[in-house]
Amino acid sequence: MQEIEKIDFWDVIKELAKMSNIDIEKYQLNTTKMAEYTDEKEKIKRIHKLAQQFFSEELQKNKDALLYLTQERKLDAKTIKNF
């Protein structure tokens, strides 16, 4: 249908839904909600980055905590840096 009618995939879906009497409005992307989700996702990423920086700085100040992680918990420097 896409090749015959020369229409894109989403238009094919709309046509097939229309032919089958299926309401697809509730399945279409809501751009406002997508923007909100993107904003929330970016906020969460920023919070995680700040937390990572905070704990990294704290580990530099507290050598006992660093020793605990490396010796008792057996975490290597790469793992500590990433998490």
pLDDT, tens digit, 9 for 90 and up, residues 8-42: 887 888 888 899 998 887 777 676 777 788 889 99
pTM over 0.85: no
Q: How confident is the model at residue 44 (pLDDT cuts 50, 70, 90)?
A: very high
Q: Are 61 and 67 in contact (CB under 8 A)?
A: no
- For residue 7, give the DSSP letter: -
Q: Are 69 and 59 in contact (CB under 8 A)?
A: yes
Asked whether the predicted pLDDT for residue 67 surpasses 80, the reply is yes
